[in-house]
């Protein structure tokens, strides 16, 4: 499942329009919903905008903190979509998912923008070229300031995973092969679903 999980984002970042902060002088904590305001122009009547907020470590690894997706045809209403006028300049606001995160000193804050996010959403009917006017676009972060009560907060303690007794009922692992067709700029995922079954004894629940 690594191909579909929000692990290192560098592969997606390389296919996105990215904006990086300078290395942070001190820790930055956020708590709430980041928001992006963008002035954009597209060349198709149907288009998406995807914004990912990433934490770029000093070794270059990029971790996803939050993201948001907007069908630009629903910029004014979810119930009454309106096609876009190619070449027209639109100002849109995109609210990302709520998050609590600390960007460590020395790391960079990255905003990555794209018009697709496969396999999370289906792509637009046609490939889209999207232009962003940087002078009037901005990222707003819900900065969490220090509180006098912080000193009284208890530590979470070390992470642990409780023991779970599992009985294997049957095993037939699935198969997954990922192919990159560089010349055609295409990724093909071949996936055969497995037929494994396991029993969680503590709650008498079978998963497969």
What is the mean predicted confidence (pLDDT) over 119-130? Answer: 92
Q: How far apart are CA 23 and CA 107, in angstroms?
A: 5
The pLDDT value given to residue 5: 67
Running DSSP on this structure, what letter comes out for residue 149? Answer: G
**More confident: 195 or 139:** 139
pLDDT digits (tens, 9 = 90+) for 35-54: 999 999 999 999 999 999 99
Does the CA dihedral 71-73-75-77 come out positive or negative? negative
pTM for the model stands at: 0.80
HEC string of 54-107? EEECCCCCEEEEEEEEEEHHHCCCCCCCCCCCCCCEEEEEEECCCEEEEECCCC
pLDDT band at 202 (very low <50, low <70, confident <90, very high): confident
- The Cβ of residue 52 has, within 10 Å, a number of other Cβ atoms equal to 24
**Residues forming a β-bridge with 110:** 20, 54
């Amino acid at each position: 499942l690594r191909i579909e999980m929000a692990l290192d984002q560098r592969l997606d970042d390389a296919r996105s329009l990215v904006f990086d902060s300078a290395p942070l002088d001190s820790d930055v904590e956020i708590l709430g919903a980041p928001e992006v305001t963008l002035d954009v122009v597209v060349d198709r009547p149907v288009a998406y905008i995807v914004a990912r907020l990433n934490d770029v470590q000093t070794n270059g690894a990029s971790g996803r903190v939050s993201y948001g997706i907007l069908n630009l045809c629903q910029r004014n209403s979810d119930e009454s979509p309106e096609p876009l006028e190619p070449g027209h300049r639109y100002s849109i606001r995109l609210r990302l998912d709520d998050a609590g995160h600390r960007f460590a000193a020395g790391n960079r804050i990255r905003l990555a923008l794209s018009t697709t996010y496969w396999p999370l959403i289906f792509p637009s009917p046609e490939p889209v070229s999207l232009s962003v006017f940087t002078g009037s676009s901005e990222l707003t972060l819900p900065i969490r300031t220090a509180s006098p009560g912080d000193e009284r907060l208890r530590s979470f303690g070390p992470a642990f995973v409780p023991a779970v007794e599992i009985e294997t009922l049957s095993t037939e692992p699935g198969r997954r092969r990922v192919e990159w067709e560089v010349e055609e700029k295409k990724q093909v995922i071949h996936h055969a679903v497995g037929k494994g079954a396991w029993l969680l004894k503590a709650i008498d629940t079978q998963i497969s």
